């Protein structure tokens, strides 16, 4: 679709005004945090050094950005070319997610100017944090390169577009390897907390739990993101008919059901192996069952029903619950079920400024995604590059 055919939207729409308020207040909070320190803008302390900015902006953000490697591997490695129309939006979402993870990490670090230190001054080759930092930095670079074809087509840079296109398979393989490593290593970070993390969430197999749940998050996020994009950016999605889109959504439902089956089995196996049945009768056990049954078993069932009955809306509902379920799991591991033995007054609760900064990062991601989709061939093929991937 040509630029002239793109609907003109008013800059002063209510959504834009709300976004402007969020961004302005968020920018002010970030400035305040760097002037007066973490103690003034957060509820973090020596007992709770990691809070919402790690639990949501980093640990959850990395998981929800996993749709990039999940879809790209399906399309370019396993030959599922029918999912090509949703590959670019998934990669763009992944790139923005990882970029905002870095921004959130900079805001959270006490000395953010030392972020490059592990790479240039004091690499800790045996440290899980070093592995996460290295893999996230490399994968962010991979996602940036994988997202450039749309920009190069938009700018008319044909030579660079051909060069990046020739690197697709290598970039995808490298991205899958890096994702496998750092998604699991985020769980490794919590292996040193057996006395702080509640037994129902602590496991020697946390790295595997985090990796499998990242696949769940990736599939669920792609379902939700593609549903919203297909509805909101109708004029930019001219190459994908409603019938084809519904078929792709149903196909994702099958993948989601398989991933959630494995994840559900892992969580049940943890209870059996650790003989934690008695803990299920406690208040935290009830909360664990809410996560297990309401946000793992339920979306699993809905994904299966949506695929079997060919009902895209059921798959989309399952995707939304799946996203919320992975968020809940990450919140439980990093905050809710963490430091569970501390007195209530010493437990961590996010400061309103922490919540607002996280909201600001999400808003930035949505606005950038919207701008890119409206201007570049992300949800449609460029006329000069049809059929070329």
> What pTM was computed for the model?
0.91
| Per-residue pLDDT, 116 | 82
385 lies in a domain? no
Structure tokens at 382: 């460029």
Structure tokens at 379: 């949800």
Domains in the chain: how many in total? 1
Structure tokens at 317: 């509902």
177 lies in a domain? yes
Name 363's Cβ contacts closer than 8 Å, sequence gap at least 6: 19, 22, 23, 26
| Per-residue pLDDT, 173 | 95
Structure tokens at 1: 């679709």
| Per-residue pLDDT, 388 | 61
Backbone φ, ψ for residue 197 (5° rounding): -90, 135
200 lies in a domain? yes
Distances (CA, A) of 228 to 1, 13, 17, 373: 20, 19, 20, 13
257 lies in a domain? yes
**Interatomic CA distance for residues 364 and 95, integer angstroms:** 13
Answer for the pair 196, 338: CB distance below 8 angstroms, yes or no.
yes
Domain that holds residue 289: 18-376
Low-confidence ranges of the chain (pLDDT < 50): 1-6
Concatenated DSSP letters for 178-234?
Answer: HHHHHHHHHHHGGGG-TTTB-TTT--TTHHHHHHHHHHHHHHHHHHHHHHHHHHHTG
97 lies in a domain? yes
Residue 145 sits in a domain whose CATH number is: 1.20.1630.10
Structure tokens at 225: 């993101």
Name 133's Cβ contacts closer than 8 Å, sequence gap at least 6: 118, 119
**Interatomic CA distance for residues 7 and 201, integer angstroms:** 49
3 lies in a domain? no
**Interatomic CA distance for residues 317 and 309, integer angstroms:** 14
| Per-residue pLDDT, 238 | 56
Structure tokens at 312: 């895209």
| Per-residue pLDDT, 360 | 97
Nearest to 96 by CA among 9, 227, 225, 188: 225
381 lies in a domain? no
Name 94's Cβ contacts closer than 8 Å, sequence gap at least 6: 65, 66, 67, 68, 69, 143
384 lies in a domain? no
Judge residue 214's burial from the number of C-beta atoms within 10 Å of its C-beta, 0-12 exposed, 13-18 middle, 19 or more buried. buried
Structure tokens at 11: 């800059």
**Interatomic CA distance for residues 12 and 269, integer angstroms:** 53
pLDDT, tens only, 104-154: 999 998 888 888 887 887 777 788 888 898 999 999 999 999 999 999 999
**Interatomic CA distance for residues 147 and 142, integer angstroms:** 9
| Per-residue pLDDT, 384 | 72
> What residues are paired with 338 via a beta bridge?
197
Tell me, rounded to whole angstroms, the distance of Cα 6 from its chain centroid. 29
């Amino acid at each position: 679709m040509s630029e002239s055919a793109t609907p003109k939207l008013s800059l002063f729409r209510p959504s834009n005004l709300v976004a402007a308020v969020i961004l302005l207040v968020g920018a002010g909070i970030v400035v305040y945090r760097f002037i007066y320190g973490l103690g003034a803008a957060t509820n973090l302390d020596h007992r709770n050094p990691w809070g919402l900015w790690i639990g949501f902006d980093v640990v959850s953000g990395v998981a929800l950005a996993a749709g990039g490697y999940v879809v790209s591997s399906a399309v370019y490695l396993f030959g599922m070319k029918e999912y090509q129309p949703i590959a670019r939006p998934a990669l763009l979402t992944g790139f923005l997610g990882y970029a905002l993870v870095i921004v959130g990490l900079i805001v959270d670090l006490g000395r953010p100017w030392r972020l490059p230190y592990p790479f240039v001054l004091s690499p800790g080759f045996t440290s899980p944090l070093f592995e996460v930092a290295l893999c996230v930095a490399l994968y962010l670079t991979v996602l940036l390169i994988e997202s450039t074809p749309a920009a190069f087509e938009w700018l008319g840079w044909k030579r660079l577009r051909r060069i990046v296109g020739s690197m697709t398979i290598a970039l995808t393989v490298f991205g899958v390897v890096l994702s496998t490593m750092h998604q699991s290593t985020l769980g490794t970070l919590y292996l040193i907390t057996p006395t702080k993390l509640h037994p129902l969430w602590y496991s020697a197999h946390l790295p595997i739990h985090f990796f499998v749940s990242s696949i769940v998050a990736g599939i669920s996020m792609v379902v939700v993101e593609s549903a919203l994009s297909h509805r909101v950016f109708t004029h930019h999605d001219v190459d994908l008919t409603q019938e084809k889109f519904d078929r792709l959504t149903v196909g994702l439902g099958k993948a989601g059901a398989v991933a959630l089956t494995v994840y559900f089995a892992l969580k049940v196996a943890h209870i059996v192996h650790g003989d934690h049945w008695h803990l299920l009768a406690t208040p935290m056990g009830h909360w664990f069952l809410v996560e297990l049954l309401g946000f793992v078993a339920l979306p699993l069932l809905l994904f299966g029903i949506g695929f079997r009955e060919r009902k895209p809306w059921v798959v989309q509902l399952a995707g939304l619950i799946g996203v919320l379920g992975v968020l809940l799991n990450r919140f439980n591991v990093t905050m809710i079920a963490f430091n569970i033995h501390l007195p209530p007054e010493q437990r961590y609760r996010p400061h309103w400024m922490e919540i607002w900064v996280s909201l600001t990062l999400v808003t930035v991601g949505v606005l950038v995604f919207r701008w890119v989709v409206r201007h570049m061939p992300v949800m449609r093929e460029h006329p000069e590059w049809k059929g070329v991937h």
